[in-house]
Amino acid sequence: MMAPVVVALRAGIRRPMVQDAALACGLLVACLLVNDAFDLVRVQADRSVGAGWGGSGAVWAWWVATAFTVVAVTLRRRRPVPMLIVCAVSTIVRVAVGVLPTVMDLAVLVLLCTVAARCSRLTSLLALAGLLLGAAWLIGGSPVDQSLRIPTLRVCSRSDVPSGPTRAGRVDTSCHDSGSDPWRGLPVLGSGLIAAWAVGNGSRNRRAYLEQLHARAQDLEREQDHQATLAVAAERGRISREVHDVVAHGLSLIVVQAQGAEAALDNRPADTRAALQTIVSTGRDSLADMRRVLGALGEVEDAWHAQSGLARLPSLLTRVRDSGTPVNLRIEGSPAALPSPVDLSAYRIVQEALTNVMKHAGPGASADVVVSYSDTEIAIEVGDDGKGPTGDGAGTVGSGNGLPGMRRRVTLLGGHLSAGPGDAGGFVVRAGLPIHRQRG
């Protein structure tokens, strides 16, 4: 039951106006307790009888000025400059009725600090200059300067005066008033005003610095989010390419073998059994690759398998040959261990190119695969001698993701790729992937 009340009280205490109102009330209470304001006003009221103010007029003037000061401190954060003017005028009124400076007059320092903290530096400097000029006018030449002057001091001096040749000398003491210097209070008031301005200006600089740090932190957070978004998009693109290569190649082999099995079902049972075995083997391999891709997404916890690479190229060519497409492989140069991304991309390029041959080169087409190793790159060439539906080879049919996927892979690795009709017919895919060998 008490918890909501406590929460409401805490929320109310945190409100700036409530805090400023508490500060204003604190100044008023301190003035009444420390300065005995009632006695000061009463004495000044007695002195003001016949002097133009009147006894009750001085009392009312002091209390009205004090009330305006309380309001100015309460509203200092909403209207700093107007409230500073109100507070300064109230202070002048209190001094004008002849009351010595009290704790309430510290409100001018509070308002000046607020102006320096919340307004521009030019505005705060102008406010400081205006208050310094006003203090000099009050102390030095205004009709109300008597309340701000240092009290008169009595200065005495002693001197020895001889009386005669046989008599001892006597001591002569003379005293005089030092007078009241109106400028003695200016350094004190000026120092207080400058100190209040410095505190407020430091607070403003600190707040600006913290805001700058906060803005920088927000920029860094946005940049991190942007980088994370780009990383997610790149990973999605990579996974989509992997899925496409696995599904397209596997399903193409399965479809070709299924067609062959259907054609040989009645007359060649052995060929049908071999085609079905190839379908089973291809399906298992495709499922294994698919589980590995899904494992990268975290959807299959126990889906670790060896990553595809050129080491699996012979088994890939065997499956293609079993599907009815003759394939020849030639290795040039000295094979060497390749970086994982290059090894996988090279395998996928050959896989996708052979998939296009099976899908688009036409019946009776054969393919040649050439893998060349050098010190700077690995070159891949996959060509066929088939005639597609339009008579131009494997690359003329379809607008799928095969060739675009190969281009994205090569571009990400900084390589090059070309695809088009061969010189002797058919279709040829050529790719080069950069590598860096260590020289012995």
Residue 326's CATH number: 3.30.565.10
Compute the distance between CA of residue 187 and CA of residue 193 in angstroms, rounded to an integer.
Answer: 10
Window from 226-240, 260-274, 300-314, 413-427 with minimum mean pLDDT: 300-314
Residue 439 predicted with pLDDT over 70: no
> Do residues 307 and 263 make contact, with C-beta atoms less than 8 angstroms apart?
no
32 lies in some domain: yes
Q: Which of 88, 122, 149 is the last residue of a domain?
A: 149
Residue 357: name the closest of 388, 316, 399 by CA: 388
> What pLDDT is attached to residue 381?
93
169 lies in some domain: no
Window from 87-91, 252-256, 342-346, 362-366 with minimum mean pLDDT: 252-256
- To the question of pTM greater than 0.75 for the whole model, the response is no
Instruction: Give backbone dihedrals phi and psi of 155, rounded to 5 degrees, phi first.
Output: -110, 130
Report strand pairing: 416-421 vs 367-373: unpaired
236 lies in some domain: no
C-alpha 345 chain-centroid distance: 37
- Per-residue tokens: 351: 């896989």
Residue 8 predicted with pLDDT over 50: yes
Residue 246 predicted with pLDDT over 80: no
Residue 242: name the closest of 292, 204, 188, 181 by CA: 292
Instruction: Give backbone dihedrals phi and psi of 283, rounded to 5 degrees, phi first.
Output: -60, -40
Tell me the residue length of the chain. 440
DSSP letter for 58, please. H
Q: How confident is the model at residue 159 (pLDDT cuts 50, 70, 90)?
A: low
Residue 426: name the closest of 388, 399, 398, 389 by CA: 388
Domain count, the chain: 2
- Per-residue tokens: 171: 């001591």
C-alpha 431 chain-centroid distance: 42
- Our separate counts of H helices and E strands in the chain read 12, 7
Report strand pairing: 367-373 vs 427-434: unpaired
212 lies in some domain: no
List CB contacts of 248: < 8 A, sequence separation 6 or more: 352, 355, 400, 401, 402
Residue 127 predicted with pLDDT over 70: yes
Residue 399 lies in domain? 309-440
> Do residues 132 and 193 make contact, with C-beta atoms less than 8 angstroms apart?
yes
289 lies in some domain: no
204 lies in some domain: no
Q: Which of 149, 165, 199 is the last residue of a domain?
A: 149
List CB contacts of 280: < 8 A, sequence separation 6 or more: none
Q: Which of 97, 123, 149 is the last residue of a domain?
A: 149
Residue 6 predicted with pLDDT over 80: no
329 lies in some domain: yes
Compute the distance between CA of residue 115 and CA of residue 203 in angstroms, rounded to an integer.
Answer: 11
DSSP letter for 104, please. G
Burial classification of residue 281, based on how many CB atoms lie within 10 Å of its CB (0-12 exposed, 13-18 middle, 19 or more buried): middle
71 lies in some domain: yes
Report strand pairing: 377-384 vs 367-373: antiparallel
> What pLDDT is attached to residue 86?
93
Residue 369 predicted with pLDDT over 90: yes
